[in-house]
Amino acid sequence: MNKFILILVLFSFPIHVFAQKYQFETIIDLEASVIKSQGQTGTCWSFATSSFLESEIYRISGKQIDISEMDIVRNIYDQKAWNYVMRQGKTQFSEGGLAHDVINAVADYGIAPQSAFTDVLGKDKVYNHNKVIPNLKKILDAYIKNDINSEYPNWKKEITPILNKQIGEKINKFQFNNQTFSPQLFRDYLKIIPEKYISLTSFTHKKLFSSFVLSIPDNFSNGSFYNIPLDMLVDIANNALKKRI
C-alpha cells in the first residue's frame, strides 16, 4: 500500500508543476505579413521564404507588399522539369524545394505581387497540386525514354498547358499603384538584391567556415550553404532580430 501511495505522489507532482500557466513575454516584435495557406501542396519552401521577403521589403522600404508565392512556384517548376530531363530522370522530381530556390527565382524572373498573378484554386478554394507532378512526370519520362513514337516529342511545349491550368499563367507585365512593371522591374523597385542573401547552416560532418552543397533530395538546384558553428548561428540570428537587419 505504501508503495502504491508513493507512486501516486510521484505522478501527481509533475502534473501540478506543468499545470501552472506560463506567461509569454514579447521580447522582439517584427513586422510580418498575414498567415497564408499553402493548401494541399508541397510548396512550404515558397510560402516561408516569400514571407521572409515580405518582411525584408518592409524593413527596407516600409512597404507592406503581398508577393505571389505561386508565381515563384510556377517559374521554379520549369527549372525542376529542365533539371529532371537533363539528368535523364536520375533525380528526384517532386514539389519540394529549399529557401534558395525562391531567391534564385527572384534573381532570374523577378517578383510579382499577389494581385498580379492569377492563382488556380481548387473547388474548395485552396491550392491543390496533387496532380501536377504525376501529370508532368508522365510527359518527361516519355521524352527521356527517347521513344520515336512518343506522343510527347516536345516536353517544353507539352508541360506548359499543365502548369498554366493547375498553377497559373506566367506574367510579363502588370499594373501596380498606377505604374506598369515587369517582375524584374518590380524586384528592383522593392530594392531586393538576391545576391546579398546567403544560406547559413551548421553541420558537424562538413568543414566549418566553408560552403557545401546540402545533399538532400529537395536540393534539386544544388544550392550551397555556408557552414558555421551552431553557437555562431544562434548569435547571428539573435543579432539580426535585435538590430532588425
Confidence of residue 119 (pLDDT cuts 50, 70, 90): confident
Cell of 86: 537533363
- Residue spans per domain, the chain: 36-194
pLDDT (mean) for 185-207: 96
CATH of domain 36-194: 3.90.70.10
pTM metric for this prediction:
0.85
| pLDDT of the residue at 15 | 53
* Helices 69-86, 155-166: crossing angle, 10 deg rounding: 150
pLDDT at 10: 47
- Whether 129 and 43 have beta carbons less than 8 Å apart is answered as yes
Pairing of strands 200-201, 224-227: parallel
Rounded to the nearest integer, the mean pLDDT of the chain is 89
- Per-residue pLDDT at 5: 43
How confident is the model over 232-240, as a mean pLDDT?
A: 94
Dump pLDDT digits (tens) for 1-14.
Answer: 444 444 444 444 55
User: Given strand 210-213, what is the order of strands in its sheet?
Assistant: 200-201, 224-227, 210-213
- What's residue 13's pLDDT? 52
Q: What is the pLDDT of residues 122-180, one digit of tens each?
A: 667 889 999 999 999 999 999 998 765 667 788 999 999 999 999 999 999 999 999 99
